[in-house]
């Protein structure tokens, strides 16, 4: 059976696959355009997108606006496919980033906090589709209710991110310890039920996308059978030629064993999933890495109380400096064993999914 296409707002992708946004500078225009060219939806992450701008320390907002505009323009030159932007609500400049994205991105995906006011941040007349990323049916309901009341619209789709994802997670440490209780499959089914009244009320379909630990075509087929419209995949796309991050970062994924994928307490106050290394072990032992806060980039971060600066740690890792940084990764990172092309990954997933849908 052929895979269904994925329609979000006025955009239709040939494959029901969204590439997850990955900061800092892991998913920029190269990865996003390659995914879009292969038939999926490519996504540029706004987290730290302006870190290379010469004025980033003194002119944080403008530096990021400029860099995001440039990434979007570069992606547009490489593809005619669908390009989205991942915007974390925890970022201090998320409203500004949404405004920039609403002028050139097809879709904004917003998580790491509930994007209650996202529709208000777009430029007038923008038809950029809006997709909240949530981790529970309660959050889906709150967003649908608030957007209906406040903004007279419902989301164009919703991403449900389960406990096996990488980066910052939408669960407490306690919930993650018993993650079997919070299976992505259960949450997806509950979210589909929770949005139904809002689909009926608005007359609009709200496609539900499953994310977190999705690896192969069997996973994709499983979520389609459960009623999801598609999946969002990040970790598997790091070890591709087109991924924007340094070869050293990709090698850390290839070298990782299952036991190296760990939960950490991020200085931003959320749990995260990452690949264990000397830097994280030192932090766990209580070492402090003093820093001058150059950006104040995350709303919940209190620099004076943080053992290290997460933005700097992720920037260092992106460039391959793992003495002063670490790699975020999903629970499947240990399954990466070689660098391949995005096209190969998406073709393999599609073939497997189509075979699994026949069963």
Ligand X SMILES: Cc1cc2nc3c(=O)[nH]c(=O)nc-3n(C[C@H](O)[C@H](O)[C@H](O)COP(=O)(O)O)c2cc1C
Among 127, 128, 90, 86, smallest CA distance to 110 is for 86
Closest distance to ligand X from the beta carbon of 197 (Å):
26
Cα–Cα distance between 274 and 263 in angstroms, integer? 6
**Does 233 interact with ligand X (rule: CB under 6 A)?**
yes
Residue with the two structure tokens 């609500």:
89
Please list every residue from 245 through 274 that binds ligand X, using CB under 6 A.
Answer: none
Residue 36 burial (C-beta neighbours within 10 Å; 0-12, 13-18, 19+): buried
**Which neighbouring-strand residues pair with 129?**
107
Question: Is the CB of 9 or the CB of 115 nearer to ligand X?
Answer: 115
Question: Is the CB of 50 or the CB of 166 nearer to ligand X?
Answer: 166
Cα–Cα distance between 64 and 297 in angstroms, integer? 11
**Residue 2 DSSP label:** P
Contact mark string toward ligand X, 197..216, x via CB under 6 A? --------------xxxx--
Please list every residue from 19 through 38 that binds ligand X, using CB under 6 A.
Answer: 20-23, 26
Closest distance to ligand X from the beta carbon of 199 (Å):
23
Question: Is the CB of 88 or the CB of 206 nearer to ligand X?
Answer: 88
Question: Is the CB of 199 or the CB of 319 nearer to ligand X?
Answer: 319
Closest distance to ligand X from the beta carbon of 135 (Å):
10
**How many other C-beta atoms are found inside a 10 Å radius of the C-beta of residue 273?**
24
Question: Is the CB of 63 or the CB of 209 nearer to ligand X?
Answer: 209
Closest distance to ligand X from the beta carbon of 40 (Å):
13
Structure tokens at 225: 């059978």
| List 72, 165, 313, 342, residue binding ligand X (CB under 6 A) | 165
**Does 275 interact with ligand X (rule: CB under 6 A)?**
no
Closest distance to ligand X from the beta carbon of 209 (Å):
10
Cα–Cα distance between 33 and 35 in angstroms, integer? 5
**Does 112 interact with ligand X (rule: CB under 6 A)?**
yes
| List 39, 40, 119, 166, residue binding ligand X (CB under 6 A) | 166
**Does 135 interact with ligand X (rule: CB under 6 A)?**
no
- The window from 31-39, 145-153, 277-285, 323-331 that contacts ligand X (CB under 6 A) reads 323-331
Alpha helices in 29-83 (DSSP H): 29-37, 60-78
Question: Is the CB of 61 or the CB of 148 nearer to ligand X?
Answer: 61
User: Can you list the positions of beta strands (E) in the chain?
Assistant: 6-8, 11-13, 17-19, 41-45, 82-88, 107-111, 129-134, 158-161, 167-168, 208-211, 230-233, 261-265, 271-275
Please list every residue from 41 through 70 that binds ligand X, using CB under 6 A.
Answer: 45, 47
CA 54 to chain centre: 26
Structure tokens at 290: 């003093």
Q: How many residues bind ligand X (CB under 6 A)?
A: 29
CA 333 to chain centre: 15
Q: Summarize as ranges the residues that interact with ligand X (CB under 6 A).
A: 20-23, 26, 45, 47, 86, 88, 111-112, 133, 161, 164-167, 211-214, 232-235, 328-330, 332
């Amino acid at each position: 059976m052929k895979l269904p296409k994925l329609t979000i707002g006025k955009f239709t992708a040939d494959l029901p696959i969204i590439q997850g946004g990955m900061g800092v500078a892991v998913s920029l225009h190269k990865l996003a355009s390659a995914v879009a060219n292969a038939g999926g939806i490519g996504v540029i992450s706004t987290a730290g997108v302006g870190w290379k701008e010469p004025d980033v320390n003194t002119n944080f907002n403008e530096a990021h606006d400029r860099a995001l505009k440039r990434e979007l323009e570069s992606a547009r030159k490489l593809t005619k496919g669908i390009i989205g932007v991942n915007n974390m609500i925890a970022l201090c400049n998320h409203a500004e980033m949404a405004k920039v994205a609403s002028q050139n991105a097809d879709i904004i995906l917003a998580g790491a906090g509930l994007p209650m006011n996202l529709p208000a941040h777009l430029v007038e007349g923008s038809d950029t589709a809006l997709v909240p990323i949530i981790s529970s049916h309660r959050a889906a309901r709150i967003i649908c209710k608030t957007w209906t009341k406040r903004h007279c619209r419902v989301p164009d789709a919703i991403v449900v991110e389960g406990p096996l994802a990488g980066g910052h997670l939408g669960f407490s440490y306690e919930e993650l310890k018993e993650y079997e209780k919070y299976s992505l499959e259960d949450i997806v089914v509950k979210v589909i039920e929770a949005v139904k009244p809002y689909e009926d009320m608005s007359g609009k379909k709200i496609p539900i996308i499953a994310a977190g630990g999705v690896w192969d075509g069997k996973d994709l087929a499983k979520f389609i059978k459960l009623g999801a419209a598609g999946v969002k995949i990040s970790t598997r796309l790091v070890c591709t030629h087109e991924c924007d991050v340094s070869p050293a970062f990709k090698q850390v994924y290839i070298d990782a064993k299952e036991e190296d994928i760990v939960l950490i307490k991020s200085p931003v106050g959320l749990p995260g999933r990452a690949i264990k290394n000397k830097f994280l072990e030192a932090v766990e032992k209580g070492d402090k890495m003093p820093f001058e806060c150059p950006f104040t980039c995350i709303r919940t971060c209190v620099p004076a109380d943080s053992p290290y600066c997460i933005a700097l740690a992720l920037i260092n890792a992106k460039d391959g400096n793992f003495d002063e940084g670490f790699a975020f990764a999903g629970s499947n990172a240990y399954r990466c064993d070689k660098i391949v092309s995005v096209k190969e990954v998406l073709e393999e997933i599609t073939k497997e999914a189509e075979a699994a849908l026949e069963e």
